[in-house]
Amino acid sequence: MASFYEKHVLPRLIRCGCGCEMLAQKRAALIPGASGRVLELGIGGGLNLKFYDPARVSGVTGIDPSAELRAYARAAPRPDGLAVEILDASAEEIPFEDGCFDTVVTTFTLCTVPDAPRALAEARRVLRPGGQLLFCEHGRAPDAGVAAWQRRVEPVWKRVFGGCHLTRPVSGNIAARFSIERLESGYMPKTPRLAGWVEWGRAVAG
Ligand SMILES: C[S@@+](CC[C@H](N)C(=O)[O-])C[C@H]1O[C@@H](n2cnc3c(N)ncnc32)[C@H](O)[C@@H]1O
């Protein structure tokens, strides 16, 4: 059973932390590239919804195991004409048949899902051949000093932020399942470096 913290504090913390202006700029650059039938992994508070282009997207399905965050996502702003469904499901066990999505979106989710490689294998399975994965994720920093701090802080960080990891490789995990066609990375400004290394781009299912 979820604790008071998990039910009432963590969802607000996640929505607030993920809702900052710097991340909104990343979302605004990435999400308009989505097209066709879209699946969003760990949709959280639905903060990407307002950036989808309804002229390019036939519908967005968001999955998330958190009932509280799903409720936020259902109420999140979105463009007129964008069809959205929000479901209770895990990225490691996506309840859809093979090859039925054109785009899978993952933003700041692979840090938290318990088994990120399995989530990526599932994303690959439900994408049609040639379908795209749009990603923006934080993870293991390339600088040894920062990475050492990430390892030290991660045990406490995970407890405070609902299982969020600091040390997971981002593009390394994605490249095991997809062809990465565009990759950018860098430290987010005004963010502690241990949580600020972000990699974003587009990968294709072969
Ligand atoms: C840091 S939040 C990011 C939310 C959202 N993707 C965003 O960009 O704002 C991490 C999200 O992953 C979700 N999550 C945790 N475990 C998951 C799983 N196994 N499958 C899918 N989503 C999961 C959490 O409930 C939460 O909504």
Task: List pLDDT tens digits, range 43-52.
Answer: 999 999 999 9
Distance 118 CA to ligand 1 centre (A): 15
- Which atom of ligand 1 is least distant from the CA of 106? 6
Mean pLDDT computed over 152-172: 96
pLDDT at 63: 98
Tens digit of each residue's pLDDT (9 = 90 or more) over 96-141 = 999 999 999 999 999 999 999 999 999 999 999 999 999 999 999 9
| Total tally of structural domains belonging to the chain | 1
Token representation of residue 28: 């605004």
Which residues on adjacent β-strands are paired with residue 135? Answer: 106, 201
Tens digit of each residue's pLDDT (9 = 90 or more) over 179-202 = 999 999 999 998 999 999 999 999
Percentage of residues in the chain having pLDDT higher than 90: 90
Candidates 27, 96, 112: which one to mutate for ligand 1, based on the most atoms within 8 Å of Cβ? 112
Task: Outline where DSSP puts E strands in the chain.
Answer: 36-41, 57-63, 84-87, 101-107, 127-138, 179-187, 197-204
Q: Which domain holds residue 75?
A: 4-204
What is residue 125's DSSP assignment?
H
Contact (CB, 8 A) for 59 and 49 = no
Banded pLDDT at 7 (limits 50, 70, 90) = confident
Residue 34 has pLDDT above 70, yes or no: yes
One DSSP character per residue, 128-152 reads EEEEEEEEEEE---SSHHHHHHHHH
Residue 1 has pLDDT above 80, yes or no: no
Candidates 61, 64, 122: which one to mutate for ligand 1, based on the most atoms within 8 Å of Cβ? 64
Residue 195: strand, helix, or coil: helix
Cβ(49) – ligand 1 distance below 6 Å: no
Residue 13 has pLDDT above 90, yes or no: no
Residue 29 has pLDDT above 90, yes or no: yes
Q: How far apart are CA 199 and CA 206, in angstroms?
A: 21
Computed over every residue of the chain, the mean pLDDT equals 96
Q: How far apart are CA 143 and CA 154, in angstroms?
A: 16
> Rounded to two decimals, what is the model's pTM?
0.97
Residue 152 has pLDDT above 80, yes or no: yes
pLDDT at 8: 85
pLDDT at 6: 86
Tens digit of each residue's pLDDT (9 = 90 or more) over 37-84 = 999 999 999 999 999 999 999 999 999 999 999 999 999 999 999 999
Residue nearest to atom 16 of ligand 1 (CA): 113
More confident residue, 82 or 6: 82
CATH number at residue 44: 3.40.50.150
Residue nearest to atom 14 of ligand 1 (CA): 42
Distance 64 CA to ligand 1 centre (A): 6
Residue nearest to atom 25 of ligand 1 (CA): 66
Q: How far apart are CA 204 and CA 55, in angstroms?
A: 22
Region for residue 44 given its phi and psi (left: phi exceeds 0; alpha: psi -120 to 50; beta: otherwise)? left
Which residues on adjacent β-strands are paired with residue 61? Answer: 39, 85
- Which atom of ligand 1 is least distant from the CA of 69? 27
